[in-house]
Amino acid sequence: MPVTDLLERNHKLYGDEVALVELNPSLKETKKITWKEFDLVQQTSSSPYRREISWSVFDEKANRVANMLIERGIGKGDRVAILMFNCLEWLPIYFGILKSGAIAVPFNFRFDAKEIKYCADLAEVQVIFFGPQFIGRIESIEEELNRGRLLIYVGDSCPTFAESYRELVADCSSRPPMIRLEDEDDAAIYFSSGTTGFPKAILHNHESLLQAAQMEQKHHLTGREDTFLCIPPLYHTGAKFHWMGSLCAGSKAVLLTGTEPETILETISKEKCTIVWLLVPWAQDILEALDSGRIKLSDYELDQWRLMHIGAQPVPPSLIRHWKEYFPKHLYDTNYGLSESTGPGCVHLGVENIHKVGAIGVPGYRWECKIVGPDDEEVKQGEVGELCVKGPGVMTCYYNDPKATAEVLKDGWLYTGDMAMQDEDGFYFLVDRKKDVIVSGGENIYPVQLENFLSGYSKIKDVAVIGLPDARLGEIAGAIISLVDGAECSEEEINEFCMGLPRYKRPKKIIFADVPRNATGKIEKPLLRKIYGAEQLVAQQNRG
């Protein structure tokens, strides 16, 4: 069954109920525009920009998009890209693409013009929906993109090189298109983070999307009365498929633009959010604001907030212990996954297992896991190896890249590239990315273990550990440390704290600087290695 069936079900059963809310506190004024069933609500200058649509409007808008694409010759197997910030149009366009039988191709909104062109060519995209923020990037490569491609602008004042979304869909039918979708039909292409060069195109079928949706609802028991707060970008599998728990339940979700602690808590309070997915930096910012007294929980209505969960990166146990000091009644879950596994949840902690914080958890709903050594044989319990997962959410392939596909898909198992170990209770612990392991003097050092250790120091807000070149040892561990606002700390103080680690694991270089993270919260370690690795080489040459 395709996930589009869930949208049509919600239209029939809960048509007049709110499906999606768009909230942008940085915008204070807008005008009233009535276009068919789509209404931008008049705001006062003191109110944030807020729009909402019902399940029936959501489904009807998706049908209009699908019928428009079909009229323009787009059909099964064709690729249609979305390059937009989170907004109320995003998901109806995505579902409209699916309903047409085409393949939805979300683009990372941080792509520069060169990456947009590369990914459009790699995925053989025929249509690109894009928002106002991307006019400049699209215009700079418009001649190349326009060769056989339809460029559709979603916003006011359509540029001359594109066609207007509103005008294209205004007169299209709101009835479902007569396109039959099967589980094995291709559905979506997502892109890898591109940490080893340009991104790979990850192809999923409709079975994968439904698996992700059903798994999310099952893991977090999303019900009709829940309201999910979605802050991360919808182009990312994490945000999309966490939201799909709301699709399964037929419940409301809020798309929030803004990550300030005050903005998040005010939205939870006013919109009565019950489930919130945070990235590590946002949770850290909330805790720091509470610790400093800048915000007070008593200023918000948060009793309905029942679950906070985190994914996209390793979660320091100290962070969750600190979180429970302020929110003792919260359920908590850690979600692990990759775009190749339809995003988060192929391994998850489970809300009943908070005593195991630090682990990524156990196999998710309908998933299997194993840990293998270099010979592809399973290692003994307690030993470190590469984590492999198997289930109905595994990608079909890397699009048009059979060599890369063969490297990670073996007998139905997805080789994740993550090093992990399983404890005696059956819980999996992430040790590090295979490519991030530091080999220092013949010893393997796993940066995540050091990051978790250093995160336990009260003055440290964020930390990244990377391998730096060393003439004698090959590599040494370098710790890039971001301090809590207002904190003062010396290198000697950090070294003293690290005496709790075995000697070979202690970071040999301490750098006080910001820790860069991408839009999904992952530490940008290639960037850090580029910056500080080069500095280390220069220092070695000067010493020589």
Quick check: 523 pLDDT over 70?
yes
Per-residue confidence band for 33, with pLDDT thresholds at 50, 70 and 90: very low
The dotted CATH code for 4-17+53-205 is 3.40.50.12780
Please tell us whether the domain made up of 437-543 is placed in CATH 3.30.300.30.
yes
Q: Match 């009807």 to its residue by tokens.
A: 60
* Rg, the chain, Cα only: 24
Q: Give the Cβ contact number of residue 352 at 10 Å.
A: 9
pLDDT score, position 431: 80
Would you tell me the crossing angle of helices 261-271 and 280-292 to the nearest 10 degrees?
Answer: 100
**Sheet (strand 474-483) strand order:** 460-470, 474-483, 509-512
**298-351 confidence digits (pLDDT tens):** 999 999 999 999 876 667 788 899 999 999 999 999 999 889 999 889 999 999
Per-residue confidence band for 197, with pLDDT thresholds at 50, 70 and 90: low
Return the structure tokens found at 333.
Answer: 């879950």
The residue among 187, 176, 177, 236 whose CA lies nearest residue 2 is: 187
pTM of the model: 0.82
**428-472 confidence digits (pLDDT tens):** 998 877 677 787 766 778 788 888 889 889 899 899 998 888 876
Classify residue 510 by its DSSP letter: E
Among 27-31, 94-98, 120-124, the range of highest mean pLDDT: 94-98
Q: Where are the domains of the chain?
A: 4-17+53-205, 437-543
Torsion 18-24-30-34 (CA) sign: negative
**349-363 confidence digits (pLDDT tens):** 999 999 998 899 999
| Domains 4-17+53-205 and 437-543 belong to one CATH topology | no
d(C-alpha 448, C-alpha 378), whole Å: 22
- What is the DSSP pairing of strand 79-83 with strand 103-106? parallel
Per-residue confidence band for 47, with pLDDT thresholds at 50, 70 and 90: low
d(C-alpha 239, C-alpha 394), whole Å: 18
Of 49-58, 207-216, 309-318, 337-346, minimum mean pLDDT range: 309-318
Per-residue confidence band for 196, with pLDDT thresholds at 50, 70 and 90: very low
Per-residue confidence band for 142, with pLDDT thresholds at 50, 70 and 90: confident
Q: Match 């604001």 to its residue by tokens.
A: 289
Return the bridge partners of 338, or none.
343
**395-411 average pLDDT score:** 95
Question: What stretches of 40-172 show up as alpha helix (H) in DSSP?
Answer: 55-71, 90-99, 113-122, 135-140, 142-145, 165-169
Distances (CA, A) of 347 to 135, 190, 335, 393, 468: 39, 20, 6, 12, 31
**240-271 confidence digits (pLDDT tens):** 999 999 999 999 999 999 889 999 999 999 99
d(C-alpha 380, C-alpha 386), whole Å: 12
| Higher per-residue confidence, 522 vs 191 | 191
d(C-alpha 456, C-alpha 315), whole Å: 12
Return the structure tokens found at 213.
Answer: 């949706």
**126-145 average pLDDT score:** 93
Of 57-71, 88-102, 211-225, 474-488, minimum mean pLDDT range: 474-488
pLDDT score, position 40: 41
pLDDT score, position 44: 38
Exposure b/e, 334-344, CB count within 10 A at least 16 = b: bbbbbbbbbbb
Return the structure tokens found at 364.
Answer: 């998710």
Quick check: 37 pLDDT over 50?
no
Quick check: 38 pLDDT over 50?
no
d(C-alpha 331, C-alpha 538), whole Å: 48
pLDDT score, position 312: 63
Number of H helices, E strands in the chain: 16, 29
The residue among 423, 356, 366, 359 whose CA lies nearest residue 389 is: 366
**26-35 average pLDDT score:** 49
Concatenate the DSSP letters of all residues of 417-428 into one string. Answer: EEEEEE-TTS-E
Percent composition of the chain: helix, strand, coil (DSSP 3-state, to 5): 35, 25, 40
Distances (CA, A) of 455 to 98, 310, 361, 466: 42, 16, 20, 15
Return the bridge partners of 463, or none.
481
Mean pLDDT for all residues in the chain: 88
Quick check: 146 pLDDT over 90?
no
pLDDT score, position 272: 97
The residue among 172, 155, 162, 152 whose CA lies nearest residue 61 is: 172
